[in-house]
C-alpha cells in the first residue's frame, strides 16, 4: 500500500493539463477523484511517473439544464449527482445510478468523468449512459469533440479517448413525457461494483412499449446495449410475463464473465432477472 515515486502536477486550466499530457505521453495519468487510480498505485499495479491532478481546475464540475439536455461537469462527484434537483427532475436515472455506487466515501470523492474514463467493466454509470444515449465531451490539443456513449466504451478499461484528451462534460437527455427509467443492480458484497447492473429507459404509449433502451454493466468485458431485449419489448404491453420473455435475451451476443462470486452462466441469468426488474420499474414510471 506504498506507491512508487511519481511527479505530481496540479494544473490550473484544461489547456495546461493538456500540455502536460502532451509532454509526458504514456508516463502521465490523470487524477480526478482518485478512487480507481490510487488503489492500483498503492498495490503498485500502476506506477505512473507523472500524475496530472485535474481536481483544481475550475469550471469542470456542476450540473446545468441546457435545453433538451442536462450537462454534467466531468469533476462532478457521485454524491452531487445523487442529490442534484435538476437531475432528479429531468433525468432521475443518473441520480438513481449515482446513489448506488460504492459507499458514501467513494461517492463523496469519485467523479463521473473519472468513472467514465476508467471504463471499469463493472462500473455503474456506463449502463445508464448507454441507455440514455449520453454524450461525452472531450477536449484535446485539436479542440473539443463529442463522443456518443455507444462509441465511447471500447474494451475493458479502454475508451475512445486519446491519451491527450480530457473529458470536460457529459450530456444526458431530458426524459420525455411517457418515458420512464430505472437502474437495478446486484452489488458485489466485497467491492460494491455491479455484478450485474441494468439501466432501462422505456417509453410507453397507449399501454404498449414504444421504445426501449437497455444498458447492461458488470456482465461482459464492457458495458453494452441489450438490443435483442429492446427489440423484443417494442409493441408489448409490459407485465411480468412479457418483460421476462424479452429480458431472457439480456446476455445475448456477449460473453458473460465469471469470477469467484458469480459464474458467467449465473451472471447471464442475473442479467435477465435484473433487466426484467428494471424494465418493469421503468415502465411503471413512464408517465
Longest dimension (CA), the chain: 62
8 binds other proteins (CB under 8 A): no
Dist CA 214 CA 276 (whole Å)? 10
Exposed/middle/buried for 287, CB within 10 Å: 0-12, 13-18, 19+?
exposed
4 binds other proteins (CB under 8 A): yes
Q: In this structure, are residues 17 and 166 in contact, taking their beta carbons and an 8 Å threshold?
A: yes
262 binds other proteins (CB under 8 A): yes
Q: 38, 86, 99, 273: which one contacts other proteins (CB under 8 A)?
A: 273
User: CA-based Rg of the chain, rounded to a whole angstrom?
Assistant: 19
Choose one: 42-50, 63-71, 110-118, 144-152; the region binding other proteins (CB under 8 A): 42-50
Dist CA 214 CA 231 (whole Å)? 10
> Whole-number minimum distance, CB 189 to other proteins, in Å?
4
Q: In this structure, are residues 58 and 34 in contact, taking their beta carbons and an 8 Å threshold?
A: no
Q: 43, 154, 156, 176: which one contacts other proteins (CB under 8 A)?
A: 43
Q: 105, 208, 261, 284: which one contacts other proteins (CB under 8 A)?
A: 261
> Whole-number minimum distance, CB 1 to other proteins, in Å?
4
119 binds other proteins (CB under 8 A): no
By beta-carbon proximity to other proteins, the closer residue of 187 and 215 is 187
By beta-carbon proximity to other proteins, the closer residue of 157 and 266 is 266
240 binds other proteins (CB under 8 A): yes
DSSP-assigned letter for residue 111:
B
> Whole-number minimum distance, CB 43 to other proteins, in Å?
7
Count interface residues toward other proteins (CB under 8 A).
24
Dist CA 265 CA 88 (whole Å)? 35
Dist CA 191 CA 185 (whole Å)? 13
> Residue 55: which of 17, 82, 81 has the closest Cα?
17
Choose one: 24-32, 75-83, 187-195, 278-286; the region binding other proteins (CB under 8 A): 187-195
In this structure, is the dihedral angle defined by the CA atoms of residues 233, 238, 242 and 243, taken in order, positive or negative?
Answer: positive
* Nine-digit cell string for 147: 463522443
By beta-carbon proximity to other proteins, the closer residue of 103 and 143 is 103
Q: 92, 157, 266, 285: which one contacts other proteins (CB under 8 A)?
A: 266
> Interface residues with other proteins (CB under 8 A)?
1-2, 4-5, 39, 42-44, 103, 186, 188-191, 193, 240, 260-263, 266, 269-270, 273
Amino acid at each position: 500500500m506504498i506507491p512508487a515515486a511519481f511527479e505530481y502536477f496540479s494544473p490550473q486550466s484544461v489547456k495546461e493539463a493538456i500540455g502536460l499530457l502532451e509532454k509526458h505521453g504514456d508516463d502521465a495519468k490523470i487524477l480526478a477523484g482518485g478512487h480507481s487510480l490510487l488503489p492500483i498505485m498503492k498495490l503498485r499495479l500502476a506506477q505512473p511517473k507523472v500524475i496530472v491532478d485535474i481536481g483544481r481546475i475550475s469550471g469542470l464540475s456542476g450540473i446545468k439544464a441546457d435545453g433538451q439536455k442536462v450537462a454534467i461537469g466531468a469533476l462532478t462527484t457521485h454524491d452531487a449527482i445523487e442529490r442534484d434537483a435538476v437531475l432528479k427532475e429531468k433525468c432521475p436515472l443518473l441520480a438513481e445510478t449515482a446513489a448506488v455506487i460504492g459507499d458514501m466515501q467513494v461517492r463523496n470523492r469519485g467523479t463521473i468523468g473519472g468513472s467514465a474514463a476508467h471504463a471499469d467493466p463493472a462500473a455503474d454509470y456506463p449502463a445508464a449512459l448507454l441507455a440514455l444515449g449520453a454524450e461525452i465531451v472531450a477536449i484535446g490539443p485539436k479542440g473539443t469533440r463529442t463522443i456518443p456513449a455507444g462509441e465511447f466504451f471500447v474494451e475493458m478499461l479502454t475508451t475512445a479517448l486519446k491519451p491527450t484528451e480530457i473529458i470536460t462534460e457529459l450530456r444526458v437527455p431530458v426524459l420525455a413525457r411517457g418515458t420512464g427509467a430505472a437502474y437495478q443492480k446486484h452489488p458485489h458484497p466485497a467491492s460494491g461494483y455491479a455484478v450485474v447492473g441494468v439501466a432501462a429507459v422505456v417509453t410507453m404509449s397507449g399501454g404498449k412499449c414504444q421504445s426501449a433502451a437497455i444498458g447492461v454493466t458488470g456482465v461482459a468485458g464492457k458495458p453494452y446495449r441489450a438490443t435483442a431485449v429492446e427489440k423484443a419489448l417494442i409493441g408489448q404491453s409490459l407485465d411480468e410475463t412479457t418483460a421476462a420473455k424479452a429480458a431472457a435475451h439480456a446476455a445475448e451476443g456477449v460473453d458473460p464473465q465469471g469470477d469467484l462470486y458469480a459464474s458467467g452462466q449465473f451472471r447471464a441469468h442475473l442479467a435477465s432477472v435484473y433487466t426484467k426488474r428494471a424494465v418493469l420499474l421503468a415502465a411503471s414510471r413512464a408517465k
